[in-house]
Amino acid sequence: MWAAYLLSFAMGFISLSQEILWVRYFGFANQSLPQAFAFVLAVYLVGIALGARVGKWVCGTYKNLWEISGYVLLAASFYDLFSPWIYAHSIYLSSQIAIAGVLILLTAAFKAIIFPIAHHLGAPAIAGRVGRSVSRVYVANIIGATLGPFITGMILLDVLSTQNCFFVFAISTLLVALFCLYEKLLIIEKVFISILVVILSGFVLIQQPQALMQRVAAGSGIKYMVENRHGIVTVYNQQEGGDVVFGGNVYDGRTNLDPIVNTNGINRVLVLSVLQDKPKHVLLIGLSIGTWLKLLTSFPGIEQIDVVEINPGYLEAMRHYPAQYSALSDPRVHLYIDDGRRWLRNHRDQQYDLIVMNTTWHWRAYATSLLSREFLVLAKQHLNAGGVMAYNSTDSLSVLKTAAAVFEHAYPYENFVVAADFDWRPRLRTEAAVNKLMSLRLDGKPLFPVGSEAFARYYLNESTILDPGIQRLFNLAGREGGIITDRNLLTEYKLGRRLIQ
């Protein structure tokens, strides 16, 4: 009886843990699209359903259910070892989504075959107690299914790479198979399988722990990859213009700090220094590799910069870039590892002159959290009179429209939205603005070298930046824009990118 409860628990634990791993792996390979979760969930459930159907047939056909469970799980453990690698090698095929679907479905199906078997073994047909017997085995499965994602998501993924977690659960499945076959196997067979486990473990341990994720990463020339339970940060080596940073396998920024080289559009941050006389209190939501934070420290008159970052993995990546990393030692900088929206809600007394967000792509999962009208209303409550909010529209007309619905003046600057309750545009046109940009100093050195005034003027030139910017937004949007709300998730679904075209 207890062995059946344990079997039911183990299947729930392993199965749901593997689902978490596939959501992470498939989501990363497909640029964190919001549909990735629904896709894995739906396919996983089909796999569970089909597995349960096979399990039902097994229950009505075979007598020795422990033995058959052992063989099924033995096959499953080998399948679990190789299936993530099969997907990694098919990532550039046009059918990669379909291949992932089949691989995920089979992962779930193997474990689900055991589900009715465990009930059959653990729920004796005693008249008047069938409901309770069934529910106990079911509850064991649910406890496993609750603990699995919890332990995998909160602990394992913080200490092991995704690749190694896949391995851990393949070996766990093998151990459960041995548990089922314990009485059936000869000693020589147990020794053979033990040696096999040791060899497989050794094979995995000599592998680079991020090899699997690097194989499905968007680019080549990976310099660093930081994996933790919060996400995956990838830094790509570039010969010129600063290294490129990806978060969740989509472009996040670059390490360039030179406004003349400007491969990363840092003028979008620098021009914010001329919109107010002297912004004292600044909030930066999204640290990334720290380039923008470093640039914000160059603004004259800044007394305090609060930075909220959801993924501490960026701090590890930043260590390789001393210029950016040094910004964290600036006494004016206060770093908080938290969800940006929750942090604002929990710090109602904090007021700012400038709020800057290095927002991610509008079509990514959960982007609504920082782009919706409800969020902008919350952020606006944290702005002082004359305050400015600036963030990346990532070329979404809806992002601009939503800002215009909350602020009196919201206009694009390149692909940024700069929003305030005053018309900030005339402030770019003044000679004082040019002088202010030219006076910016980073670590004691001028950001704009002597003789580079033309660049500063170019960044402030309304006719070349603002009007084409508006035009570009309308052209690129290509579809009707609307106001993003917490309820409609507009840019993630209706006007977002699609996983399956």
Site for other proteins, residues 438 to 497, rule: CB under 8 A? 485-489, 492-494
Q: Which of residues 288-317 bind other proteins (CB under 8 A)?
A: 310
Q: What angle do CA 19, 342, 397 make, to 5 degrees?
A: 85
- Quick one: tokens of 63? 């007598």
Alpha carbons 254 and 366: distance in angstroms, whole number = 23
Min dist. Cβ of residue 481 to other proteins (A): 16
Q: Which is nearer to other proteins, 65 or 437 (CB)?
A: 65
Q: Which is nearer to other proteins, 109 or 420 (CB)?
A: 109
Alpha carbons 334 and 309: distance in angstroms, whole number = 11
Q: Which of residues 343-362 bind other proteins (CB under 8 A)?
A: 345-346, 348
Q: Which is nearer to other proteins, 69 or 297 (CB)?
A: 69
470 neighbors 412 (Cβ within 8 angstroms): yes
**Only segment of 150-158, 257-265, 323-331, 388-396 that touches other proteins (CB under 8 A):** 150-158
Secondary-structure percent of the chain, ordered helix, strand, coil, rounded to 5: 55, 15, 30
Alpha carbons 34 and 478: distance in angstroms, whole number = 21
Alpha carbons 152 and 229: distance in angstroms, whole number = 9
Min dist. Cβ of residue 316 to other proteins (A): 16
**Interaction between residue 7 and other proteins (CB under 8 A):** no
338 neighbors 315 (Cβ within 8 angstroms): no
Of 164, 159, 176, residue with least CA distance to 77: 176
Is residue 479 exposed (0-12), middle (13-18) or buried (19+ Cβ within 10 Å)?
exposed
**Interaction between residue 401 and other proteins (CB under 8 A):** no
Q: Which of residues 103-132 bind other proteins (CB under 8 A)?
A: 112, 115-117, 119-120, 123, 125, 128-132
Q: Which is nearer to other proteins, 9 or 459 (CB)?
A: 9
245 neighbors 265 (Cβ within 8 angstroms): no
Strand order in the sheet with 281-285: 333-337, 304-309, 281-285, 352-357, 383-392, 416-420, 409-413
Q: Please give the size of the binding site for other proteins, defined by CB under 8 A.
A: 72
Q: Which is nearer to other proteins, 279 or 286 (CB)?
A: 286
**Only segment of 139-147, 258-266, 275-283, 383-391 that touches other proteins (CB under 8 A):** 139-147
Min dist. Cβ of residue 412 to other proteins (A): 26
372 neighbors 344 (Cβ within 8 angstroms): no
- Quick one: tokens of 180? 């089922």
What string of DSSP letters covers 344-357?
A: HHH-TT--EEEEEE
- Quick one: tokens of 134? 């069934």
Of 48, 46, 40, residue with least CA distance to 11: 48
**Interaction between residue 139 and other proteins (CB under 8 A):** yes
DSSP letter, residue 364:
S
Min dist. Cβ of residue 342 to other proteins (A): 4
- Binds other proteins (CB under 8 A): choice among 57, 71, 192, 474: 57
Min dist. Cβ of residue 497 to other proteins (A): 12
**Only segment of 82-90, 136-144, 432-440, 448-456 that touches other proteins (CB under 8 A):** 136-144
Q: Which of residues 220-239 bind other proteins (CB under 8 A)?
A: 229-230
**Interaction between residue 48 and other proteins (CB under 8 A):** yes
The one-letter amino acid code at 390 reads A
- Binds other proteins (CB under 8 A): choice among 56, 223, 472, 497: 56
Q: Which is nearer to other proteins, 59 or 442 (CB)?
A: 59
Q: Which is nearer to other proteins, 304 or 485 (CB)?
A: 485
Q: Which is nearer to other proteins, 36 or 456 (CB)?
A: 36
**Interaction between residue 41 and other proteins (CB under 8 A):** yes
Min dist. Cβ of residue 361 to other proteins (A): 15
